[in-house]
Amino acid sequence: MPLDTAPVDTIVTGANIITMQAPGHRAGALAIREGRIAALGSTAEIRALAPGAREIDCAGATVLPGLIDSHCHPDMLGARIGRWLDLGAAAPAGREALLEAVRAAAAGRPAGDWVLAYNFDDTRMGGYPGRAELDAAGGGRPVFLYRRDALMGVASSAALAALGFTAEAADPPHGRIERDAFGAPTGLLRARAAHLLIEHVQRGYTEADFHAGLGTVLAGYSAFGITSLHNSLTTSQGIGAYQRMRAEGTLHMRIGLIASGREPELVAGLIRSGLRSGFGDEWIRLIGVEWVADGSTSGRTAAYRAPYQRPFGEGEGQGHNGELLFARDELIALALPAHRAGLTVCLDGMGDRGVEFTLDIFEALLEDTPRPDHRMRVEHCCAVPPDLVARLARLGVVASSASGFAHDLGDAHLAARGAEEMKHLWPLRALIDAGVPAPCHSDNPVCDANPFRGMAALVNRRSSGGADLDASQAITVEEALATYTTLGAWAGREEHLKGSLAPGKLADLCVLDRDPLAIPAEELGETRVHATLLGGRVVHDAAGLA
């Protein structure tokens, strides 16, 4: 108990508080003053400290620090709500059900309106529909189904025409327009080709469009005990929408901004402004800038050293091993000015060759401008064999690990890479033992936002489908909790504010229906959140605690 006995406004009592200050450190209650933790102790001690304070009695429930999802895309999801069809929610099983969902979404729309869908999963929805099938289902409208990895998709004839993707069109750099035997586009767009279509569609989106759905999106995160998130590839409209919510008093989430390298003018503006990583306050903070260096393993576009197990597509042989989305000198030219300006560089790397490439870039940046506390990040950082684990440790690079992939996409990774490579995918045991900071994330909406499912996949090394992801890389439950608390805070340069529960830190916490450290590890993914507090204020309450 600290000596400071100044009045507090709220106390949380009757709790099993896992503070994350140190392994095994717990408390029974805590006091909150003006959104910060004033003291921890037993329920009797805290009640004596603040007899007139509002009391939240947890009735024995377990309390954790508010969780941090260190890589997700809420701004774009907010812009899509009400505009795009969520195929993950619609869950069509098979090709005909998919096309029926497109027909239903197109019904009643004016001719020429775009029919857009996200969370398309070819492995569950009957493969990629052909261009003619989408033409018929969309009634001649421009249709685009964006694959859940956000790195490829399939388009109708009208959508292809809007981009000028004809038989005569050249493939864009680092992208591909798939073609049939006669050279005509099939509708399947890969990498930069898909991104050009998305940029075309979203060019007219405004800050208001992003703002419209963000409240709903952020409430969904709160229901999972998440109080902070790092918005990957944040758009300029998203930044504006967050600031608008802050001014309105409707921002009920702490936001870390990782600015999108797909907006060169945004990155150039940040560099000119003189803002550095860490700028901001407890609500909105600048983390860095981000570029995507390779593709996805489930979509068989991520860059690997060895070929994929199965043919990549019709007519292609076994030799395909993915590709990088930048040339080395090209990416260095983009990232070096940001690094020199004091902005943390984040590069997406999925395959082992992709991760290796990102480390090549980071090494070049650090040779040019050494920075001891750079906190540069490999986003997703999926395939990491021992030589790359050692290199991450030597360079001091953060392995921003996609635990959501392990849970939701583990089966697809196993099918693409084989059982032998599972010990190199999300190798948290090896990363932790090597001293590599490895916070974890969902990449939502690519994967489910529920952090406990991702943690469970890393502890039990099982995918959502029960696939064996190699138990040699299993971590403990306490280590898994750290990936969404202390490590997430450190990766966002906010370890002084959050990640653990201690006097002076933000009163961000989540109340659980079970103690993750006292249950069988197999049940970790079933953990539910009773309540979420942000600065001592209840923002989610499923159990009537408030």
List Cα–Cα distances, 358 to 71, 297, 344, 361, 397, in angstroms.
17, 16, 13, 5, 10
CA trace torsion 441, 445, 450, 451 (10° rounding): 0
Gap between the Cα atoms of 193 and 188, Å rounded: 9
Half-sphere exposure of 400 (CA within 13 A, CB side): 31
pLDDT at 546: 77
Gap between the Cα atoms of 24 and 168, Å rounded: 65
Mean pLDDT of the region 232-257:
98
Same domain, 31 and 107: no
Residue 5 has pLDDT above 70, yes or no: no
pLDDT bracket for residue 320 (50, 70, 90): confident
- Spatial strand order of the sheet with 143-147 comes to 85-86, 115-120, 143-147, 152-155, 185-191, 175-179
* Least confident segment among 28-42, 112-126, 224-238: 112-126
Residue 544 has a CB neighbour count (10 Å cut-off) of 7
Same domain, 189 and 110: yes
Residue 2 has pLDDT above 50, yes or no: no
Q: Please name which of 34, 74, 510, 503 lies closest in space to residue 256, comparing C-alpha atoms.
A: 74
User: Would 277 be classed as within a structural domain?
Assistant: no
User: Would 93 be classed as within a structural domain?
Assistant: yes
Which tens digits make up the pLDDT trace of 135-152? 999 999 999 999 988 889
pLDDT bracket for residue 331 (50, 70, 90): very high
- Look at residues 143, 177, 202 and tell me which one is the last residue of a structural domain: 202
* Percent over 90 (pLDDT), the chain: 90
What are φ and ψ of residue 304, in 5° steps?
A: -120, 160
User: Would 38 be classed as within a structural domain?
Assistant: yes
For the record, the structure tokens of 275 come out as: 């803002």
What is the dihedral sign for C-alpha 393, 441, 404, 236? negative
Same domain, 39 and 100: no
Same domain, 97 and 45: no
For the record, the structure tokens of 253 come out as: 């989430």
Domain count, the chain: 2
Gap between the Cα atoms of 27 and 238, Å rounded: 38
What is the dihedral sign for C-alpha 427, 428, 430, 436? positive
Domain that holds residue 89: 80-202
DSSP alpha helix (H) spans, 20-94 = 43-49, 74-80, 87-90
Same domain, 45 and 127: no
Mean pLDDT of the region 319-339:
93
- 167-175's contacts with Cβ under 8 Å and 24+ in sequence apart are 172/196, 174/323, 174/324, 174/325, 174/326
User: Would 44 be classed as within a structural domain?
Assistant: yes
Which CATH number do you get for residue 516? 2.30.40.10
Which tens digits make up the pLDDT trace of 193-212? 999 999 899 888 999 999 99
Helix crossing, 264-273 with 328-340: angle to 10°? 30
Gap between the Cα atoms of 159 and 161, Å rounded: 5
Q: How many helical (H) and strand (E) elements, i.e. helices and strands, does the chain have?
A: 19, 23
Which CATH number do you get for residue 169? 3.10.310.70
User: Would 348 be classed as within a structural domain?
Assistant: no
